[in-house]
Chain A
Amino acid sequence: MSTREVPTRGLLYLRRRQIIRGILATTAFGITSKLVGCSSSPEGSSAGGGDEKPLVIGFLYVGAKDDFGFNQAHAEGAAAIAKLPGVKIVEQANVPETTEAQEAMRNMIEQDGATVLFPTSFGYFDPHILKIAEEFPEVQFFHYGALYQEGKHPKNIGSYFADVDEGQYVAGRVAAATSKKGKLGFVAAKPITPVLRNLNSFMLGALSVKPDIKMQVIFTGDWSLPVKEAEATNSLADQGVDVVSMHVDSPKVVIETAEKRGIFSSGFHTVQSSLAPKGYLTGAAWDFPSIYTQYVEKFKAGQTVIDDSIPHLIRGGMKEKFVKLAPYGAAVSAETQKDADDTQAKLIDGSLYVYKGEIKDNTGKTEIPAGQNLKVTDPALDKMDWLASGVIGNVGG
Chain B
Amino acid sequence: MESVRRRSSGWSIHWGKTLESICLPVAALLFSLLLFGIFCAAVGSNPFEVYGSIYKAAFGSWRSFQNTLIRASPLMLTALCTALPARLGLVIIGNEGALVVGGIGAIAAGLALNSAPSLVVQLSMAIAGLVCGGLWIGAVGALRHYRGVNETISSLLMNYIAIALLNHLVNGPMKDPASLNKPSSYPILDTNMLGVLPGTRIHYGLIYGLVACVIAYILIQRTTFGFAARTAGGNLRAARVAGLPVGKLTMAICFLAGSCAGLAGMVEVAAVHGRANESLNAGYGYSGILVAFIARYNPLAAIVVATLLGGILASGGILQRVHNLPDATVLLFQGVVFLVVMYSESLYGRFEIFKEQSAKIKTERPPAVPV
Report which A residues bind B (CB closer than 8 A).
1-3, 5-7, 10, 13, 16-17, 20-21, 24, 29-30, 33, 36-37, 40, 43-44, 64-65, 90-100, 103-104, 106-108, 110-112, 122-123, 127, 145, 190-194, 221-222, 382-385, 396-397
A6-B51, A93-B327, A98-B279 as given contacts; A111 in contact with B33, CB under 8 Å: no
On chain A, the residues within 8 Å of B51 by CB distance are 3, 6
A16-B38, A103-B67 as given contacts; A91 in contact with B321, CB under 8 Å: yes
Q: Tell me, rounded to whole Å, the shortest Cβ–Cβ distance linking B31 to chain A.
A: 10
Q: Which of A3, A10, A29 contacts B42 (CB 8 A)?
A: A29
B interface: dominant SS:
helix
Does B249 belong to the interface (CB within 8 Å)? no
Candidate in A17, A20, A112 with the most chain B CB atoms within 10 angstroms: A17
Q: Is the CB of B41 within 8 A of A20?
A: yes
A interface: dominant SS:
helix
Q: Tell me, rounded to whole Å, the shortest Cβ–Cβ distance linking B28 to chain A.
A: 10
Q: Which of B296-318 contact A (CB under 8 A)?
A: 313-314, 317-318
Q: Is the CB of A127 within 8 A of B172?
A: no
Q: Is the CB of B42 within 8 A of A127?
A: no
Candidate in A43, A65, A103, A191 with the most chain B CB atoms within 10 angstroms: A103
CA distance A37 to B168 in the complex (A): 42
Does B183 belong to the interface (CB within 8 Å)? yes
Does B54 belong to the interface (CB within 8 Å)? yes
Q: Which of B52, B59, B273 contacts A127 (CB 8 A)?
A: B273
Q: Is the CB of A99 within 8 A of B272?
A: yes
On chain A, the residues within 8 Å of B42 by CB distance are 20-21, 24, 29-30, 33
On chain B, the residues within 8 Å of A24 by CB distance are 42
Q: Is the CB of B59 within 8 A of A40?
A: no
CA distance A357 to B318 in the complex (A): 51
A6-B30, A92-B321 as given contacts; A103 in contact with B314, CB under 8 Å: yes
Given A97-B182, A99-B272, A103-B71, 18 new contacts (CB under 8 A): A2-B26, A21-B41, A24-B42, A44-B324, A91-B320, A93-B326, A93-B327, A94-B328, A95-B317, A111-B56, A112-B322, A122-B181, A123-B279, A127-B274, A222-B167, A382-B180, A397-B171, A397-B172
* Nearest CB in chain A to that of B174: its residue: A397
Q: Is the CB of A17 within 8 A of B41?
A: yes
Q: Is the CB of A3 within 8 A of B55?
A: yes
Q: Tell me, rounded to whole Å, the shortest Cβ–Cβ distance linking A149 to chain B.
A: 12
On chain B, the residues within 8 Å of A30 by CB distance are 42
Report which B residues bind A (CB closer than 8 A).
26, 29-30, 33-34, 37-38, 41-44, 47-48, 51-52, 54-57, 59, 63-64, 67, 70-71, 167-168, 171-172, 175, 177, 180-183, 268, 272-274, 277, 279, 282-283, 313-314, 317-318, 320-322, 324, 326-328
On chain B, the residues within 8 Å of A6 by CB distance are 30, 33-34, 37, 48, 51
On chain A, the residues within 8 Å of B47 by CB distance are 13, 17
What are 30 of the A-B contact pairs (CB < 8 Å)? A3-B33, A3-B51, A3-B52, A3-B54, A6-B34, A6-B37, A16-B38, A17-B38, A17-B47, A20-B41, A20-B42, A64-B327, A90-B321, A92-B321, A99-B70, A99-B71, A100-B282, A103-B71, A104-B317, A107-B67, A107-B317, A107-B318, A110-B63, A111-B56, A123-B279, A192-B183, A193-B181, A194-B181, A222-B167, A383-B180
Q: Which of B48, B56, B67, B279 contacts A7 (CB 8 A)?
A: B48
On chain B, the residues within 8 Å of A21 by CB distance are 41-42
CA distance A122 to B279 in the complex (A): 12
Q: Tell me, rounded to whole Å, the shortest Cβ–Cβ distance linking B47 to chain A.
A: 7
Q: Is the CB of B321 within 8 A of A107?
A: yes
Q: Tell me, rounded to whole Å, the shortest Cβ–Cβ distance linking A103 to chain B.
A: 5
Q: Tell me, rounded to whole Å, the shortest Cβ–Cβ distance linking A309 to chain B.
A: 28
A3-B54, A17-B38, A96-B279 as given contacts; A37 in contact with B272, CB under 8 Å: no
Q: Which of A3, A103, A145 contacts B181 (CB 8 A)?
A: A145
CA distance A20 to B177 in the complex (A): 57
Q: Tell me, rounded to whole Å, the shortest Cβ–Cβ distance linking A261 to chain B.
A: 29
Candidate in B29, B59, B182 with the most chain A CB atoms within 10 angstroms: B182
Q: Is the CB of B38 within 8 A of A20?
A: yes
Q: Tell me, rounded to whole Å, the shortest Cβ–Cβ distance linking B166 to chain A.
A: 11
CA distance A290 to B224 in the complex (A): 69
* Nearest CB in chain B to that of A110: its residue: B63
CA distance A254 to B351 in the complex (A): 57
Q: Is the CB of A191 within 8 A of B182?
A: no
Q: Is the CB of A103 within 8 A of B182?
A: no
Q: Is the CB of B326 within 8 A of A385?
A: no
On chain A, the residues within 8 Å of B54 by CB distance are 3
Q: Which of B55, B171, B182, B328 contacts A123 (CB 8 A)?
A: B182
Q: Is the CB of B177 within 8 A of A190?
A: no
Q: Tell me, rounded to whole Å, the shortest Cβ–Cβ distance linking B3 to chain A.
A: 29
Q: Tell me, rounded to whole Å, the shortest Cβ–Cβ distance linking B160 to chain A.
A: 13
On chain A, the residues within 8 Å of B55 by CB distance are 1, 3
* Nearest CB in chain B to that of A61: its residue: B327
* Nearest CB in chain A to that of B280: its residue: A98
On chain B, the residues within 8 Å of A108 by CB distance are 317, 321
* Nearest CB in chain B to that of A93: its residue: B327
* Nearest CB in chain A to that of B330: its residue: A94
On chain A, the residues within 8 Å of B44 by CB distance are 33, 37
Q: Is the CB of B326 within 8 A of A103?
A: no
Q: Is the CB of A92 within 8 A of B182?
A: no
A6-B33, A193-B181 as given contacts; A397 in contact with B168, CB under 8 Å: yes
Q: Which of B38, B175, B320 contacts A397 (CB 8 A)?
A: B175
Q: Is the CB of B38 within 8 A of A111?
A: no
* Nearest CB in chain B to that of A132: its residue: B201
Q: Is the CB of B172 within 8 A of A396?
A: yes
Q: Tell me, rounded to whole Å, the shortest Cβ–Cβ distance linking A266 to chain B.
A: 23
Q: Is the CB of A2 within 8 A of B30?
A: yes
Q: Is the CB of B273 within 8 A of A103?
A: no
Q: Tell me, rounded to whole Å, the shortest Cβ–Cβ distance linking B103 to chain A.
A: 12
Q: Tell me, rounded to whole Å, the shortest Cβ–Cβ distance linking B250 to chain A.
A: 33
A1-B59, A92-B317, A103-B67 as given contacts; A122 in contact with B26, CB under 8 Å: no
On chain A, the residues within 8 Å of B41 by CB distance are 17, 20-21
On chain A, the residues within 8 Å of B30 by CB distance are 2, 5-6
